[in-house]
Chains A and B, each alone.
Chain A
Amino acid sequence: MATRKLLGAMLAAFALASPTLANAQVRIAYIDPLSGAMGATGEHGLRELEFAVEAINAKGGVLGQKLVVVPMDNKLSAQESLILLKSAIDQGIRYISQGNGSSVAGALIDAINKHNEREPAKSIVFLNYAAVDPDFTNDKCSFWHFRFDANTDMKMAALTDYLKGQKKVSKVYLLNQDYSHGHQVSKVAKAMLAEKRPDVKVVGDELHPLARVKDFAPYIAKVQASGADTVITGNWGTDLSLLVKAAKDANLKADFYTYYGGTVGVPPAMGDAGIDRVKVVSYWSANSANAAGQAVQDAYRKKYGADQDPYSQSIRISAEFLVRAMEKAKSTDPVAVAKAMEAMKIDGPFGEITMRAEDHQIIQPMFIATFVKGGGALKYSADGTNDYAFRADARVEAAAAARPTTCKMKRP
């Protein structure tokens, strides 16, 4: 096993060095952080993409060609990503996968638009699996970009739809990281609450610096003083786990509605502090999957460990869309594939998934789930843990979560 790993790694390095070796292949460049603070998240995504690609290749690949993932470490830097994009183009790669950081995604969309205009014969298609800035499928929409995650506004729409039925929610505190994503969450939360629950009072709208707060006790004290019963936060990573831990320490009796409570590292870091306190709005709900979806999870957990939650469904779905589109277009040419991908539908683990043609935004059902002790009916645990799981409280149908778009798509 170990020797095989070693050999495999050497071969991969060799293949990277000599592009001529790789002809009858469809290669996808995975441009995401593989080192540094966000390295764990990037590696998780890479594993899910490789898992999906292996499954596709086991069934014979696409149009007789194998799929190959070429990982590239962008260190979460927009500038590095642009250089890697050039490197990918040089190697003849036509498909790019990325998800961490809307800053990176925005830079890539920009650069790909320019490149495809300057060299239409070598067009690039961008499969975005997690960058959620709503702009990418609205004002900044691009024919070359496909988003497989729900954007910030869609998640908030699902969340506020759910809150319509939660009469005990009356005072909401917004606590977000002080940067564009946090600003967007705060803005759209206020707008949608005003529309769907005008009786709810927003008792606080706090922004804290990104990844700089060591002790959240003062913020929790403020939430407590405001009398809020619900906190809505777009926080991720340690900013979320530390927040939840501080809430437990001060015995704050409020529910936390989060975007990223289920992502790499957060469940184990929250531990008991998150139980019955943390809720997540997501397109992923491990324990609500249908039989096919469960089979995929079983295979994944068997391969990588029972505590490994394949929650980045979007990345696996993106691979599936790509393959189906190639089969439909009977070609691996990016323009034909992109056209075939528009308005395509597949059956996902939770129901139908559609790529909306107008703006290239994926439309799928969403879930509101609570972080609880695992076991019993909850077969699948939360990421990185064996004793915690997410219990789905509500399902928001695809149509309800969809949002209108301002996109005016320019097609080649």
Chain B
Amino acid sequence: MELFFTSLLNGVTYGLLLFMLSSGLTLIFSMMGVLNFAHASFYMLGAYFGYVISSYVGFYPALLLAPLAVGAIGALIERYGMRRAHASGHLAELLFTFGLAFLIEEVVHLVWGKSPVPYRVPPSLDGPLFTLFSATFPTYKAFMMAVSVGMLAALYALLTRTRVGLLVQAALSKPDMVEALGHNVPRLFMLVFGGGVGLAALAGVIGGNAFVTEPGMAAAVGSIVFVVVVVGGLGSITGAFVASLAIGILQTFAVAVDYKLPFFDRVTVSQTAPVLPYLIMVLMLIARPRGLMGTRET
């Protein structure tokens, strides 16, 4: 019983973390139709910027400044790189982000070295919040959960309730029409890309000190964010949210199970836990390529 509730709590926490990581990716995909392979790299840049900025002005200002700075970099990359790649097709665009991820990791190596940096949780958020059975629940995790839910609310409102959101959605299907109505579509896309990158960076500022800020952190989350977005349905914010929670809870419970798999002498369910999301993704893509709540196929 104890393990059940702890696992449920851990699962929800992990799920919300996954959503935080992938929301920016969903935003960019749903608005621009671009799968951004460099997403995790911007998450990493966010963590490093958060580390540097917070060492000068403290954690809370960094929470705002780092995403803005990384978002601005993202917007510039869209303006001077992506747009050019876009002209030579979808594949070129995707490969551009692929190469970008490679380059960003090198730059991080160069600037901050190859070892982890000592980026710490601020004292005001450090320490336990409450105790469940014998385990404590850290305040910082609760903070992460709150930010994640906040992201969901903000994105949902932005996409469905604001003029900008509607404009961008319209621009995705009928860019010429929107352009003809006097809107600057390229600039709109630049802002969306910057925004999505900023969200990744925000996740980085928060995740960097909860976990470890090091050059390998991008590769560590690189593919799991795609799983979340694909399973949730490419372009659906709510879908991504549901998928994150489902994957988080499923994976956490799988860890708790020591049942040995049939036919494999040595392997337990718990050992396979981190592979499960990929299995789910493949099955989902075969059975229902739209994902849980996607509105269209990719």
* A residues whose Cβ falls under 8 Å from a Cβ of B: 35, 37, 39-40, 43, 178, 206-209, 211-215, 217-222, 224-225, 238, 241-242, 245, 249-252, 264-265, 268-269, 271, 384-385
B270 touching A206, Cβ below 8 Å: yes
- Since A212-B274, A384-B116 are in contact, a sample of 13 more A-B pairs with Cβ atoms closer than 8 Å, ordered by chain A residue number, is A37-B215, A37-B219, A214-B17, A218-B252, A241-B116, A242-B212, A249-B140, A250-B138, A268-B115, A268-B116, A268-B117, A269-B116, A385-B118
Residues of A within 8 A of B14 (CB): 214-215, 217-218
B120 at interface (Cβ–Cβ under 8 A)? yes
Residues of A within 8 A of B212 (CB): 238, 241-242, 245, 269
User: A104–B176 Cα gap in the complex (Å)?
Assistant: 56
User: A154–B246 Cα gap in the complex (Å)?
Assistant: 44
Residues of A within 8 A of B252 (CB): 217-218
User: A1–B131 Cα gap in the complex (Å)?
Assistant: 55
B6 at interface (Cβ–Cβ under 8 A)? yes
B211 touching A245, Cβ below 8 Å: yes
B135 touching A250, Cβ below 8 Å: yes
User: A43–B115 Cα gap in the complex (Å)?
Assistant: 10
Partner of A178, one of B115, B118, B138, B271: B271
- Distance in Å: Cβ of A239 to nearest Cβ of chain B: 10
Task: Report if A39-B255 is in contact (Cβ < 8 Å); known contacts: A212-B274, A224-B135, A245-B211.
Answer: no
B53 at interface (Cβ–Cβ under 8 A)? no
Partner of B6, one of A206, A213, A224, A385: A224
B13 at interface (Cβ–Cβ under 8 A)? yes
Task: Report if A209-B3 is in contact (Cβ < 8 Å); known contacts: A39-B114, A268-B117.
Answer: no
B216 touching A238, Cβ below 8 Å: yes
A214 touching B211, Cβ below 8 Å: yes
B115 touching A218, Cβ below 8 Å: no
Give the most central of B115, B140, B216, B275: most A CB within 10 Å.
B115
User: A80–B136 Cα gap in the complex (Å)?
Assistant: 46
Residues of A within 8 A of B113 (CB): 40
B271 touching A222, Cβ below 8 Å: no
Task: Report if A222-B118 is in contact (Cβ < 8 Å); known contacts: A215-B17, A238-B216, A269-B212.
Answer: no
User: A249–B275 Cα gap in the complex (Å)?
Assistant: 25
A218 touching B136, Cβ below 8 Å: no
User: A219–B254 Cα gap in the complex (Å)?
Assistant: 10
B155 at interface (Cβ–Cβ under 8 A)? no
- Distance in Å: Cβ of A261 to nearest Cβ of chain B: 14
A209 touching B13, Cβ below 8 Å: no
A225 touching B220, Cβ below 8 Å: no
Residues of B within 8 A of A241 (CB): 116, 212
Partner of A271, one of B120, B219, B256: B120
User: A207–B271 Cα gap in the complex (Å)?
Assistant: 6
A208 touching B274, Cβ below 8 Å: yes
Partner of B214, one of A245, A249, A269: A269
Partner of B141, one of A35, A238, A249: A249
What are 18 A-B pairs at a CB distance below 8 A? A37-B215, A37-B219, A208-B255, A208-B270, A208-B273, A211-B220, A214-B220, A214-B224, A215-B13, A218-B7, A218-B251, A224-B135, A241-B212, A250-B136, A250-B138, A265-B116, A268-B118, A269-B212
User: A35–B214 Cα gap in the complex (Å)?
Assistant: 13
Residues of A within 8 A of B118 (CB): 268-269, 271, 384-385
User: A218–B3 Cα gap in the complex (Å)?
Assistant: 9
User: A37–B131 Cα gap in the complex (Å)?
Assistant: 36
B275 touching A225, Cβ below 8 Å: no
B124 at interface (Cβ–Cβ under 8 A)? no
Contact bitstring B86-120, A, C-beta under 8 A = 1, else 0: 00000000000000000000000100011111101
Contact bitstring B7-26, A, C-beta under 8 A = 1, else 0: 10011011001000000000
User: A249–B140 Cα gap in the complex (Å)?
Assistant: 9
Complex: chain A residue closest to B13, CB-CB: A217
- Distance in Å: Cβ of B144 to nearest Cβ of chain A: 11
B3 touching A225, Cβ below 8 Å: yes
Complex: chain B residue closest to A206, CB-CB: B270
- Distance in Å: Cβ of B58 to nearest Cβ of chain A: 18
A264 touching B115, Cβ below 8 Å: yes
- Distance in Å: Cβ of A362 to nearest Cβ of chain B: 27
Partner of A221, one of B3, B109, B216: B3
User: A238–B116 Cα gap in the complex (Å)?
Assistant: 9
User: A384–B210 Cα gap in the complex (Å)?
Assistant: 19
Residues of B within 8 A of A43 (CB): 114
Residues of B within 8 A of A207 (CB): 271
B221 at interface (Cβ–Cβ under 8 A)? yes
